[in-house]
Amino acid sequence: MIVTRNLYKTYQLGGVKVEALRGVSLDIMPGEFVAIMGASGSGKSTLMHVLGLLDRPDSGEYSLAGENVTTLSDKELALVRNQLVGFVFQQFHLLPRMSALENAELPLIYAGKRHLKQRAEKEMTEVGLKDRMFHKPNQLSGGQQQRVAIARSLVNEPSVIFADEPTGNLDTKSKEEIIAILKELNKKGKTIVIVTHENEIASHAKRIITMRDGQIISDKTVSCESRLSEAGFSGTENLVKDILSRSGSAVKGGMEFLDYLRQAISAMFSHKMRAFLSILGILIGVAAVIAMLAIGTGAKESIEKQLASLGSNLLVVRAGASKSGGVSLEAGTTTRFTLEDVTVIEKLKDYVKRVSPSVTGRAQIVYGNKNWNTQVQGVGVSYAQLRSSVPTVGRFFTEEEVKKRDKVALVGTTVAKEIFGNIKSVGKTIKINQINFRVIGVLPAKGTSGPQDQDDTVLIPITTSMYRLLGKQYIDSIYVEVKNADSTDAAQEAISALIIKQHRLITKDQQDSFSIFNMSDIKSTLTSTTDTMSLLLGAIAAISLLVGGIGIMNIMLVSVTERTREIGLRKAIGANNKDILVQFLIEAVLMSFIGGLAGIALGSGVSVLITLIAKWSVRVSLSSVLLATVFSLVVGVVFGLWPAKQASRLNPIEALRYE
């Protein structure tokens, strides 16, 4: 079963080299019960670890069941440890968060045989713990814990059982029980190799090997009762090859995703506070991202709503030159626009879609015993579509009403509220500067734009305002809607050239006597500003998420340190590097994901509170939720990967010895 030739193993302890094994050669036949004895530091435990594939020799040959195992990869060694070898440790190495039965099942999980859990129940019954299966390790005596460890070593039906000081921490009665179990296993054909420093325990073995200073100094066969003949070796010589050939690609490990997930969840529940702190860091980061982006999105939509009220592809032609500090109004420096200019501009069919003149003034509105001072604006029929002012109630005035200078009016929502309250306003007669007007519609709500309330206005026909109400001979401004955004600049140049020609503006000063405002420029500036603000808010929030990720990495590194022995145990019973890597990585990602979901809920709640308390326009978008979720998962992967790699690279025996 076991053949070694000239095994050497040297450890570097500080600046001192310790030769733990010096040319050890031995043969162990199938079915033997071998005790390895020696004083502390004799090399017996090191030999056990090499034989059990927990450590590699520096030099020499080691064949297990006829296969040279010194050339196997880490994945192959993990597979052989899982299915051919069983371990019983002096410290028991039971996971405290799991029940006795779950501890016994662990090797089945790494073998991909979770469905055979009845094996664990059978072995627990065999070692006399049928009634204690669901107790945690801290609810069991030392002897009972060692029995659980024996049951764990047997679930995959190994051919060899290695026991390292299995009775070292037990009382006399428990020692006898454990030795009785090992002897019974040997009678059933299991090869037992036990390391002990007690003659009393070694006396139960059929063969005693004594070591000193890393060498075998005696090898005595006490009894041949359970030792198989050399011919019996033929039944075991291909065990390792069979295991590797049956597994094929399964050398990479037999665990499934659900097994990894269960292990990760179990680890999180066993360290609730540590997991909570990790989740809290991501939760705050994601909540900040959601809330910040919601504020940015809300602000952007609010600005876009205000921009929509201006109309699309809009040019505004105004009298007077645009000067730094205000509009130049000196005599001879202002072009006076008339309705004829509107007609001329309308003829630019290649560029212009709609045109509306506008005059503005203040007036007193009276209805019954209520009055209100507001802005009155005279406009053309096209103003409704051009400035997004199609009434929500009633109608807009017609070309016929403009020609007849009819006294009809549309009121903004602020005016309607102040003058009419809850009374229906359409059809009512109001006085504007003592002149009766019939209300024919209510304008859509547009909100405020800076200090100006866009809903505090009354619209009347341009001719009525000029000739009946405000007494103006000239137009204050001309609104021009360009056919498409791409031709806005060309339309601006064409209108400018037309006005210069129409008003015979020859000199540079004369040509500066009017101005054309391109509202698209204002829109793009505001949009760019809101985009920058959203990006800035998102970046600030992302820093919070980054800090949360660093927190996860730190806590996972602490977790790796705290669980070093657990990692060593998992490797000893068959976990390979990938199993450990994936398990720790899933833990990190799971904490990030939970933190992300909780952060989405918190961020959405904060956004709602901001809307209710501060009255800001805030909106949580699906894109921000997806972004935060994906980002939290990425943080889990990125910051969990390094601790997971650190865990997966641990040497099994060094991890088991970790203090």
Domains and CATH numbers, the chain: 28-56+75-253 (3.40.50.300), 267-305+525-656 (no CATH), 336-504 (no CATH)
Q: Beta 435-442 vs 408-411: how paired, if at all?
A: parallel
d(CA 479, CA 497): 17
**Contacts of residue 218, Cβ cutoff 8 Å, sequence gap at least 6:** 208, 209, 210
With 80 as the cut, is the pLDDT of residue 108 above it?
yes
pTM: 0.62
Measured CA distances, 469 to 373, 378, 389, 502 (Å): 15, 9, 22, 28
CB 278 within 8 A of CB 110: no
Q: Beta 191-195 vs 85-89: how paired, if at all?
A: unpaired
Position with higher pLDDT, 324 vs 599: 599
Average pLDDT on 313-331 reads 62
Backbone angles phi, psi at 208, to 5 degrees: -120, 125
10 Å Cβ neighbour count for 92? 21
Q: What is the pLDDT of residue 542?
A: 72
3-state secondary structure 465-518: HHHHHCCCCCECEEEEEECCHHHHHHHHHHHHHHHHHHCCCCCHHHHCCEEEEE
Q: What is the pLDDT of residue 397?
A: 95
Position with higher pLDDT, 406 vs 116: 406
Average pLDDT on 605-631 reads 77
Position with higher pLDDT, 160 vs 530: 160
Identify the band that residue 404 occupies on the pLDDT scale cut at 50, 70 and 90. very high
Q: What is the pLDDT of residue 185?
A: 86
Poorest-confidence range of 183-192, 368-377, 525-534, 628-637? Answer: 525-534
Q: What is the pLDDT of residue 642?
A: 82
Q: Tell me the two tokens of residue 519.
A: 């509202």
Q: Beta 160-164 vs 191-195: how paired, if at all?
A: parallel
With 50 as the cut, is the pLDDT of residue 249 above it?
no
Chain-wide mean pLDDT for the chain?
A: 82
